[in-house]
């Protein structure tokens, strides 16, 4: 009985939480003598509620000693590209401005978020990436759109 309850809680947690990303690769943008290099990394994630949509997110990551120790605040510089990779199945209810991905970008109170919007008139999904901070967010952002179309492999 305990196993079934734990499995149910884990399943519900995965359904309700933003997507997990998979790191595709990184490139060095600045060499550091001590600590990790500054770099740009590409992560991929699938929209957790819209099967058939995958997003690729590029983001700057701080290096140096503080970056190596996880104490640096990553720059709020990113880009996103979302594409239809299979048949899109729209849920009957879609929450407005739902967070589909989030990742901490500093040790305290800063994260990168991707939210999904739906432009019903144009039958298009819109993905917006931006940075949050406890005191002052960043105006840096990027969007990608996915028109919902019949899938022809």
Predicted TM-score (pTM) of the model is 0.75
In tens, the pLDDT along 91-113 reads 988 888 999 988 766 656 667 88
End-to-end CA distance of the chain: 43
Residue 1 or residue 139, greater confidence = 139
The closest of 82, 20, 86, 29 to 57, measured between CA atoms, is: 82
Instruction: Scan for tokens 């995958």, then name that residue.
Output: 54
Say which residue the tokens 């594409």 belong to: 83
24 pLDDT exceeds 70?
yes
3-state secondary structure of 68: helix
Give the tokens for residue 113: 């978020």
pLDDT digits (tens, 9 = 90+) for 37-57: 778 889 999 999 999 999 999
What is the model's pLDDT at position 50?
94
Nearest to 130 by CA among 87, 101, 88, 96: 101
Spacing of C-alpha 26 from chain mean position: 16
């Amino acid at each position: 009985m305990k196993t079934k309850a734990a499995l149910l809680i884990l399943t519900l947690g995965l359904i309700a939480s933003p997507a997990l990303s998979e790191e595709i690769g990184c490139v060095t943008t600045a060499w550091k003598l001590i600590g990790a290099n500054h770099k740009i990394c590409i992560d991929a994630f699938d929209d957790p509620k819209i099967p058939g949509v995958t997003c690729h997110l590029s983001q700057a990551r701080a290096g140096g000693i503080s970056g190596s120790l996880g104490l640096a605040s990553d720059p709020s510089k990113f880009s996103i590209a979302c594409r239809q990779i299979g048949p899109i199945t729209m849920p009957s209810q879609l929450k407005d401005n739902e967070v589909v991905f989030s990742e901490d970008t500093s040790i305290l109170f800063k994260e990168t978020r991707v939210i999904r919007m739906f432009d019903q008139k144009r039958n298009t999904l819109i993905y917006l990436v931006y940075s949050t901070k406890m005191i002052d967010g960043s105006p840096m952002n990027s969007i990608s759109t996915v028109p919902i179309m019949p899938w022809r492999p």
